Chains A and B, each alone.
Chain A
Amino acid sequence: MYAVVAEGLWRFFSDNPVLRGVSLAVEEGGVYGLIGPNGAGKTTMFRILATLLRPSRGTAKVFGKDVVREASDVRRMIAYLPEEAGVYKNLTGRGFLKMVSRVYGLGSSALEQGVTISGLGEDVDRRMGEYSKGMRRRILLAGCLMVKPRLAILDEPTAGLDVEHSVYVRKIISQYAEQGTTFIVSSHNMLEVDYLCDRIALIHRGSIIAEGKPRELTASHNVQNLEELFVKKMGEAP
């Protein structure tokens, strides 16, 4: 079964097309990377899948549910971590996770699971306003994964994090992917993409310009790695 199926997605802001007929299919399980330069349309794509924005044209389905007509069903299956998402500064980490578990109608075991995912130890009882950027990202990721979503949409989950926190986040993503959660992530870090993603799509100016497994793509384009592939494809793009 496909976790995500998008067909001919267009999205305009005023007269400006940010997505131009994007079609992609993400199989259930594993990590799918959406790669592209700033302003390529990644965040808009994620926001549509997360039911925050409506497509101007085309359809998008998450596990067979239309993101517009069956948005509430979709929201029960997904977790979304926006790029540079903030925290409620006056809540403790535990307080935040407790709120999330209650919103999803989950019990204390989910809360403890969230605490474990965050890996923050005693810091989970500190106010999130005191957290470093890496700690904030970890607690937000824990909030996403503790609800056991079928699809986790993570917009640049490690952007701006130091090595220690980045490694931790990647480890958690890999761990949950192995347990069956489907991830769709964006990143500017090609090493991270290579390490994490089973399949990737290159998006540029609102269109998918390449799609496949990282190894297959580098081989078929006769490049050494994803960074070279990225530069080459961006150079070729109109």
Chain B
Amino acid sequence: MPLVSKELRELLSEKTILIGVVLMPLVIFPLIGFSMAPVNMREGDAGPGAAVLVVDQDGGKYAALFVEALRKTGFNPQPIQLQNDNLLQLIENSGASAAVIIPQGFSTQLEQKNKPTVKLFLKLASSSIVEFERIGSMRDRFYAAVSLMGEALASEEGVAVSFYKAPIDLSGEVVYRDQIISETDAGQLFQQFFASTLLIPIALTLVVTTSGTIAATSIGLEKEAKTLEMLLTYPIGRSTILASKLLGSTVVALLGTASLMTGIVFYFSRLTAFAGMSITLSLSPLNLVLLMVVLFFALVTTLGLGVLAGVLAGDVRGSQQLAGLIQLPLILLPLLLFLSGGIQSLQQPLATIILIIPFTHLMLAIQAILESSYLNILLHVGVMVAWTVVIIGLAAFMFRGERLLTMRVKLGRRKPVV
């Protein structure tokens, strides 16, 4: 027991452990929960009153019954006539979340106890978890409407149980990026999206976090070994020393980037090989270059943060702890929010705060690259470049003067008893 007590005292006296292991989850997950609550509420697009375009080519009583069933399941059916219009354009222009085409002969087929097929088009606004969840939820409710139809049919005479349980076949398709893709493809698209959305940011986050620690360690080592004092008395400017440190760390970071990009290219080549789909989230050579650019700026920004941590701390351990403490919330928060629901789903004040964090733009840029939204890529890369300049400028400022030697930000760990 005395040893356990000693261990607990030692471990809990380490602020990084206390903050990283105990306090951070207490802060981050409620924050995500708080931010995600509006996401679910905002899903009015899929919730009660969601607009559904109804192309009734039948006009019979069962078609009317199906429309009523849609209404009862919470949709807002909006009848339209489909003539020479393009259904895709109609869905886009109306702002509806879905469209159904009730075919000619729908009522007759049901009277003859044959299953008619209703075409269902679900609009996928973007490749995000929230969107995939939303269309999944809508599809479930369309099936609920079919069940309601079945219940109505069950009251009629001579209807077999197997028929009224599923009286209508739903032929589901997904509208994405002005294209109609099958639900099977959408499922694969979701798998791809999930694989890329999860793995690429996590992999990038690992490389980026490691790079920041490299820069912090580089300065921490110099301070700890007292080689920095000698280095600073050589007839070279501080800016040269800082540039050398950044350049050295950047080379290491670039090696990491190259390694990661090779892995990602291989990863995507396997994904597309398996999928064989008409639409994929695969990366074009241009997108790969853009991903590299985004990663590079994220790395340089992290290196700048690492330099700051190195300047502020007194030794290797301190600089690594400080780098972790600075980076962890800045990288983890956007990553978790991104994986959970996407920045667009946040309430405005919270979204503004999250958008200030440079690494939010790393996540958004990755998403934009996966969706080939080039204007958004440009915007987020621009923000990241601005942040890079600011952080490197701040690092250069901190590197000047004697604060490099005299600053000793301590994380309050207890001194060992001698």
Contact = CB atoms under 8 A, between A and B. Distances in A.
Interface of A: 13, 47, 50-54, 72, 75-76, 78-89, 100, 103-104, 140, 143
Contact of B234 (A47, A82, A104): A104
Contacts of A81: 230
B111 to A, nearest CB: 85
Given A86-B224, A87-B225, A80 B233 contact: yes
A85 B233 contact: no
B235 A85 contact: no
Given A84-B226, A85-B227, A87-B225, 9 more contacts: A13-B406, A47-B405, A52-B229, A72-B237, A75-B234, A80-B230, A83-B226, A85-B226, A86-B227
A75 B229 contact: no
Contacts of A51: 232-233
Interface in B370-417: 401-402, 405-406
A206 B83 CA distance: 96
B227 A88 contact: yes
A74 B235 CA distance: 9
Contacts of B224: 86
A53 B230 CA distance: 13
A151 to B, nearest CB: 11
B234 A85 contact: no
A209 to B, nearest CB: 26
A204 to B, nearest CB: 23
List 5 tightest A-B contacts by C-beta distance, closest first. A86-B225, A80-B233, A82-B229, A75-B235, A76-B235
13 contacts: A50-B229, A51-B232, A51-B233, A52-B405, A53-B402, A79-B233, A80-B233, A81-B230, A86-B227, A88-B227, A103-B235, A104-B235, A140-B230
Contact of B226 (A13, A72, A86, A104): A86
A105 B227 CA distance: 20
Most central of B226, B232, B405 by chain A CB within 10 Å = B226
The CB with the most chain B CB atoms within 10 A, among A52, A80, A84, A89, is that of A52
A13 B403 CA distance: 12
Contacts of A78: 233
Contacts of B227: 85-88
Nearest to B234: A103
Interface in B222-248: 224-227, 229-230, 232-237
A80 B235 contact: no
A51 B229 CA distance: 10
Interface of B: 224-227, 229-230, 232-237, 401-402, 405-406
Contact of A80 (B229, B402, B405): B229
B228 to A, nearest CB: 9
Nearest to A89: B225
Contacts of A47: 229, 405
A52 B235 contact: no
B402 A82 contact: no
Most buried by A among B226, B229, B233, B406: B233
Contacts of A86: 224-227
A80 B227 CA distance: 11
A82 B224 CA distance: 12
A53 B403 CA distance: 9
Contacts of B230: 80-82, 85, 140, 143
A52 B225 contact: no
Contacts of A88: 225, 227
Nearest to B231: A103
A47 B233 CA distance: 9
A54 B229 contact: no
Given A86-B226, A87-B225, A87-B227, A52 B233 contact: yes
A100 B402 CA distance: 22
B388 to A, nearest CB: 28
Contact of B405 (A53, A87, A140): A53
Nearest to A54: B402
Nearest to A77: B235
Contact of B402 (A52, A76, A89, A143): A52
B107 to A, nearest CB: 82
B69 to A, nearest CB: 74
A54 B400 CA distance: 12
Contacts of A140: 230
Of B225, B234, B406, most A-chain CB atoms within 10 Å? B234
A79 B235 CA distance: 10
Contacts of B226: 82-86
Nearest to A50: B233
A88 to B, nearest CB: 6
A140 B225 CA distance: 13
Given A82-B226, A87-B227, A88-B227, A52 B232 contact: yes
Given A82-B226, A86-B224, A103 B233 contact: no
Contacts of B233: 50-52, 75, 78-80
